[in-house]
A = this chain, B = another copy of it.
């Protein structure tokens, strides 16, 4: 990963791994949101100083966007494979369980980075919100298309709108992200997923 245009053989090589530093930054943004993450907390977690951070990543906003890229690539990759499930209900189950795995698994913070960083916050962070909204819109579109295919394949009951089911599923996932962030135990969230799937419409 080429973090900057320079760093080309000549001169002193940097002493840290940009990938590791970015992963550490992601943890902080994930816990605090964009506004809540301070440069002091970021640099401490990344193990580098501020000038190193600015030289390598640009500024706070650019760092956040790169962290968002990493988040989508490493954490949200389950969505792409979930859409390949054979049935609409299978898609829903894979997405719900995948989402739960991220939000309560490993040593990562609980909750969803996108939700945390797009809610509330100061006035001068609106470009961040716009960025997140745009990414979420493209993800939503893919889900709607998948459910439209499901209806065409007779996989969704007649009266059920694909767009409505996509919006519903998104809502449950985002609600689950809030619950996870509020330290609702994992078993309860698994119960929530089972409840949701038990009510999923079928013919």
Contacts and interface: CB of A to CB of B under 8 A. Distances in A.
Interface of A: 31-33, 35-36, 38, 41, 111, 115-123, 133, 136, 160-161, 163-165, 167-168, 170-179, 181-182, 184, 188, 191-192, 194-196, 198-201
Contact of A119 (B176, B178, B192, B201): B178
Contacts of A32: 120-123
Contact of A184 (B118, B167, B191, B199): B167
Contact of A120 (B36, B188, B194): B36
A167 B182 contact: no
A22 B191 CA distance: 40
Closest 6 CB pairs of A and B: A33-B120, A175-B175, A171-B175, A116-B120, A199-B199, A174-B175
Contacts of A175: 170-176, 178
Q: Point out which of A36, A167, A178, A188 has the most chain B C-beta atoms below 10 A from its C-beta.
A: A178
Nearest to A31: B120
8 contacts: A35-B36, A35-B120, A167-B179, A168-B195, A170-B175, A172-B172, A174-B179, A178-B178
Contacts of A161: 191, 195
